[in-house]
Structure 1
Amino acid sequence: MPPLPTTLPDWLALLESRHAETHIDMGLDRVRAVKERLRLAFECPVIMVAGTNGKGSTCAMLESVLLQSGYRVGLYIKPHFLDFNERARINGEMASDEALVGAFNDVEAAREGTDLTYFEFTTLAIAHLISKSGVDVAILEVGLGGRLDAVNVIDADVSIVTSIDIDHTSYLGDTREKIGFEKAGIFRPGKPAICSDPVPPQSLIDHAEQIGADLWLLGRDFNYQGDQQQWSYGGRSQRRNSLAYPALRGANQLLNASAALAALEVLRMQLPCGAQETRAGLAMVELPGRFQVLPGRPTQVLDVAHNPHASATLAQNLGNMGFHRFTYAVFGIMEDKDIDAVIAPMAGVIDHWCVTRLDSPRSAEPEALADKLRELRPAGAKDDDFSVNNFASPAEAYANALSRAGENDRIVVFGSFYTVAGVMAARKSSLH
């Protein structure tokens, strides 16, 4: 056997090389076997969060409120933008390379030759790391779907499903009913199961009832109301009034915040959170790449919107921002997405498109994207008012948008985590 890597970059390279061919391998038997050999178990409450959109925001709000309340919090969130360490947070800080290498070594020893994908291996390692870090609560974000996601080998005390929309159809099915069933796979008999989708698929409700989960539905078991200044949450036995709007911007964030507060209501005996700590946690939450507005001018917005539901929300949020002379888009997307439906809500918002290839074999070709976008050109539009240009990387597309945008204009980076990550990396390198 060759010696094991001793650094995090070498470990990640090894995991990527092991699974160059198979990216996703459905089924949990292998992961469960390694989990048992690893003796992976949590001695604290576990909150699991699945959904098409809003998972990361909900996790970030939970983490922020619980940290403000004085608890030690473990968070597994993905994907990462610049550093793999972003996926594992202990008490609000990214895990160190050394801690992750130690966890990888433990999983490798427990693997005993069992084949694990990159995602399965790293999920087990980060869960193991969190379980050994003396946290008061663990928050685990599900990757793809729910029922067959590697995170689902862990039993949650509270499960949350945020929104349910069409995405990853080759794995999860092509209807909200099929996808809702996959998401509901994280629910557990006798345990609270929270759904913040305003119109949950019947398949999710039926599954919760069949297994005897304690289903909390938005509008029935918990709800929210808001005006211009503040908002309030009402649950089964707890009200929270005069709440600050979450620091995460966008119209859908009260859905995510309500789900987070419902989970905290469920856990109020084990993890009580005071009114002031809850307000502060929501007011101070941070999450990169979710309608993230950068300081300065021109206005710049980073948003990982990569499916129709997220794109429609992004268009709505942009519409609420006030006047900008021109809007430039830095846009790259994976070819397996519903590209036409992602572009449609944004077509009326964007004047100038800077289309980019992404650093992934699944990237859509910029030339094909550009052809689609040129068909959307308004009749009679001059070149000053509408343009489409292709670029080899998000950094080049972003540099072009930045060189052309005036201080009363706006740049929107969207379409994929890879698009936003590429621009974040370019901004970081320009600062050094």
Structure 2
Amino acid sequence: MSLLPVPQATSPLSVWLDYLNSIHSSAIDLGLDRVQVVAQRASLTKPANTVITVAGTNGKGSTCALMEAILLDAGYSVGVYSSPHLIRYNERVRINGQELPDGDHAKAFAHIEAVRKDVSLSFFEYATLAALHLFAENKVDVVLLEVGLGGRLDATNVVDHDVSVITSLAVDHVDWLGDDINVIGYEKAGIFRANRPAICGQEKPPATVPAHADDIGAEFYQAGIDFTFKAESETTWSWSHKGYELEELPIPQLPLMNASTALMALGSAHLDISDVNIVNGLKNATLPGRMQFLPSRPVTVLDVAHNPHSAQYLVSQLTARFANKRYHVVVGMLHDKDVVETLNALSPIVGQWYLASLEGPRAASAKELSQSVNEALNKSLFDSPVLAYQAAMEQASQDDIVLVVGSFHTVGEVLEYCQSLEA
């Protein structure tokens, strides 16, 4: 029970966030019983005519951003819910590509507070319900929901969604989901719905994913089987599904695998989208902290890759784009991630490590990271990501690359610092 007084609808957003963090025993509490009660009371289980829910280990945010850009070009009103944020809580909710002012979030929290009564909610559950309220209140046409953790027991799964998406599957969040990839696959497939489209963007998922789709009678579409994509050149790619083919599509700034999955999800939603909308959306789609390039010399690349799967993909993209470059890698991580294998995945491109401590109970210290790095002569330890970044920028030559990676926290701190320099 919170010792903080209940804020008002006019209270600052920071006061509400402190309150939300205090009212439940843990920030993460998997299960739908409590959140389902409040969602039904507030009539939030269907916040828009079309709802697409996106789960997965990596690529959720990119897939949502790609769908959002295409839908906006097609003239739809679109709400996006994502987590975690890089700098500000407001990043978690976008309506028509824009964040909402603090006051809108405070009013939404006040509405959920009035409805929940004696039902205890975790921070994520509360935030999810507030986002759904904002989407319903703004009468958006399409809602894109990014699953927070797992799928089956995630708060977003109380929504009656029309299309389910799994972007990719790998071992992550071991403390909550375990290290059995088949169990992880089953948990994420828990968002599938009977007689509705269920998209899997990974070509060889664990058997539990198609098995669960079959068990409940979902309309299952598998990457590499039901839909495919192919890079045709450095600037174009093609996509196909059951004889329908899109050619000479522009390669987006976000991963092609996620773009392919986004196209399958949108096609399954039976929305009015033209080829021109797809082309424009692919050109326009961006997402902070995902292969984000800052206009600095040396070049700064920000990426939230925080597990071996995403780190391997990042390295493949960087080596393809920047051959024969020296990389100065600023990294900070949470200790409940697979630190050793993630750093091993990054190591082939590293010229110099800048290991940074993060703050909080889940944070790994720079000393902990150092124990996972073999290159004794090529590493320096810092008390924060910003200090590590400052050192990297000082030591790197104009033609080198400074990569900031390892966590939303790491990227968020450096991005906020860089934005402060521009202010």
> Aligned partners of 1:326 and 1:57: how far apart in 2?
27
Are positions 1:395 and 2:386 aligned together? yes
**Cα distance, 1:2 vs. partner?**
3.9
> Aligned partners of 1:73 and 1:236: how far apart in 2?
28
TM-score of the two chains, using structure 1 as the length reference: 0.93
Mean alpha-carbon deviation: is it higher for 293-302 or for 100-109?
293-302
* Partner-residue secondary structure (3-state), 2:63: helix
- What residue is the counterpart of 1:383 in the other structure? none
Q: Is the 8 A contact 2:23 2:120 kept in 1?
A: no
Alpha carbons of structure 1 residues 335 and 106: separation in structure 2 relative to 1, 3 Å: same
Are positions 1:26 and 2:25 aligned together? no
Are positions 1:411 and 2:402 aligned together? yes
Deviations 1:72-118 (A, max 9, x none): 11111111111111111111111221211111011101111111010
- CA RMSD in angstroms comes to 1.4
Alpha carbons of structure 1 residues 99 and 238: separation in structure 2 relative to 1, 3 Å: farther
- What residue is the counterpart of 1:278 in the other structure? 278
- What residue is the counterpart of 2:263 in the other structure? 261
Are positions 1:358 and 2:358 aligned together? yes
Are positions 1:243 and 2:249 aligned together? yes
**Cα distance, 1:220 vs. partner?**
1.7
> Aligned partners of 2:244 and 2:104: how far apart in 1?
39
Contiguous gaps of at least 5 residues in structure 1: 378-385
- What residue is the counterpart of 2:173 in the other structure? 168
* Letter of the 1:23 counterpart: A
**Cα distance, 1:325 vs. partner?**
4.6
**Cα distance, 1:208 vs. partner?**
0.5
* Partner-residue secondary structure (3-state), 2:318: helix
Deviations 1:275-310 (A, max 9, x none): 111101001101011111222321211010101100
- What residue is the counterpart of 2:110 in the other structure? 105
Are positions 1:204 and 2:195 aligned together? no
- What residue is the counterpart of 1:309 in the other structure? 309
> Aligned partners of 2:236 and 2:317: how far apart in 1?
18
Aligned ranges 1:355-394 → 2 under 5 Å: 355-373=355-373, 375-377=374-376, 386-394=377-385
**Cα distance, 1:368 vs. partner?**
2.2
Q: Is the 8 A contact 1:130 1:138 kept in 2?
A: yes
- What residue is the counterpart of 2:7 in the other structure? 4
Q: Is the 8 A contact 1:301 1:411 kept in 2?
A: yes
> Aligned partners of 2:323 and 2:237: how far apart in 1?
26
Q: Is the 8 A contact 1:74 1:89 kept in 2?
A: yes
> Aligned partners of 1:292 and 1:2: how far apart in 2?
40
**Cα distance, 1:238 vs. partner?**
3.4
- What residue is the counterpart of 2:156 in the other structure? 151
Percent identity, aligned pairs only?
42
**Cα distance, 1:17 vs. partner?**
2.5
2:196 corresponds to which of 191, 195, 204: 191
* Letter of the 2:354 counterpart: C
> Aligned partners of 1:47 and 1:12: how far apart in 2?
27
> Aligned partners of 1:9 and 1:262: how far apart in 2?
39
> Aligned partners of 1:392 and 1:106: how far apart in 2?
40
- What residue is the counterpart of 1:70 in the other structure? 75
- What residue is the counterpart of 1:345 in the other structure? 345
* Partner-residue secondary structure (3-state), 1:273: coil
Mean alpha-carbon deviation: is it higher for 197-206 or for 1-10?
1-10
Deviations 1:174-213 (A, max 9, x none): 1211110010000000100000101111001111110110
> Aligned partners of 1:101 and 1:236: how far apart in 2?
47
* Partner-residue secondary structure (3-state), 2:370: helix
- What residue is the counterpart of 2:239 in the other structure? 233
**Cα distance, 1:324 vs. partner?**
4.9
> Aligned partners of 2:242 and 2:326: how far apart in 1?
47
Mean alpha-carbon deviation: is it higher for 137-146 or for 35-44?
35-44
Alpha carbons of structure 1 residues 367 and 272: separation in structure 2 relative to 1, 3 Å: same
Deviations 1:126-152 (A, max 9, x none): 011112211111100001110010000
For these two proteins, the number of residue pairs brought into alignment is 416
> Aligned partners of 2:5 and 2:203: how far apart in 1?
52
Q: Is the 8 A contact 2:236 2:249 kept in 1?
A: yes
* Letter of the 1:423 counterpart: V
4+ runs of 1 displaced by more than 4 Å?
none
- What residue is the counterpart of 2:127 in the other structure? 122
Q: Is the 8 A contact 2:330 2:356 kept in 1?
A: yes
Q: Is the 8 A contact 2:48 2:135 kept in 1?
A: no
> Aligned partners of 2:304 and 2:386: how far apart in 1?
16
Deviations 1:382-425 (A, max 9, x none): xxxx5211111111111111111110111010010001001011
2:221 corresponds to which of 212, 216, 235: 216
* Partner-residue secondary structure (3-state), 2:349: coil
Q: Is the 8 A contact 1:162 1:256 kept in 2?
A: yes
* Letter of the 2:375 counterpart: L
TM-score of the two chains, using structure 2 as the length reference: 0.95
Mean alpha-carbon deviation: is it higher for 290-299 or for 278-287?
290-299
**Cα distance, 1:3 vs. partner?**
4.8
Aligned ranges 1:31-50 → 2 under 5 Å: 31-40=35-44, 41-50=46-55
* Letter of the 2:252 counterpart: P
